[in-house]
Amino acid sequence: MLRYTLLFAFALLLFGCSGSNQELNQKLKAAVTEGEAGAAGYKTIQMAELTDFDWDVMYYFQPNEDQKAISDVIGFKWEGAEVPDNHRRLLFVKGEEVASYVDYYYNDFPLFVYGCGDDKWIYPKSRATFASFKYCSGNQEVYAFIPEPCVDNIRMLMDNPCPEGEAASAE
């Protein structure tokens, strides 16, 4: 019995250490992948409506960005892990503290985050309304995620739907 208890505790420790907000990951994936695009050709996603914690700024990080790179961007010391291979990270900051973050596996959820003007991959909560739509890149379905005021910068991607049955679906 003790052996199973220790094994269970080790599994919790191993999977719990990542700190990634899995509930937010599921909410984001559902908001992006479920339902149909609106009349404008995209879905509108309010990040503040998906989060259940207080935050001021959301940051986007690419795979393998380490503690130093993340710390340099957010302006204080990041104590967490680097962004894993084939993952992307949305990190939420309140003041000078990390409120939460979500790492998502790009192969399972191909969400491509686009920068917008001077914000690049830094999104204040006041400007965290995103446009999202599905398009085809090669033979893969990809979900665009860009601040709504800049959706016209990538609108041409909406003209790249994947032929039925040919795309590797992320759903």
For the chain, give the number of residues.
171
pLDDT band at 117 (very low <50, low <70, confident <90, very high): confident
107 contacts 86 by C-beta, under 8 angstroms: yes
Q: How far apart are CA 6 and CA 9, in angstroms?
A: 5
pLDDT at 165: 55
pTM: 0.83
The set of residues, in sequence order, having a beta carbon less than 8 Å from that of 111 and lying 6+ positions away, is 28, 29, 32, 88, 104, 142, 143, 145
Q: Which pLDDT tens digit goes with each residue over 127-148?
A: 899 999 999 988 899 999 999 9
Q: How far apart are CA 129 and CA 4, in angstroms?
A: 46
pLDDT band at 120 (very low <50, low <70, confident <90, very high): confident
Residue 86 reports pLDDT greater than 50: yes
Q: Give the number of other CB atoms < 10 A from CB of residue 38.
A: 11
Q: If we measure between CA atoms, which residue out of 53, 51, 54, 81 comes closest to residue 65?
A: 81
pLDDT at 3: 47
Q: How far apart are CA 131 and CA 149, in angstroms?
A: 8
pLDDT, averaged across the chain = 86
pLDDT at 18: 57
- The secondary structure of 3-36 as a DSSP string is HHHHHHHHHHHHHHTT---HHHHHHHHHHHHSS-
pLDDT at 17: 41
Dihedral of CA atoms 116, 142, 137, 20 in degrees, nearest 10, equals 80
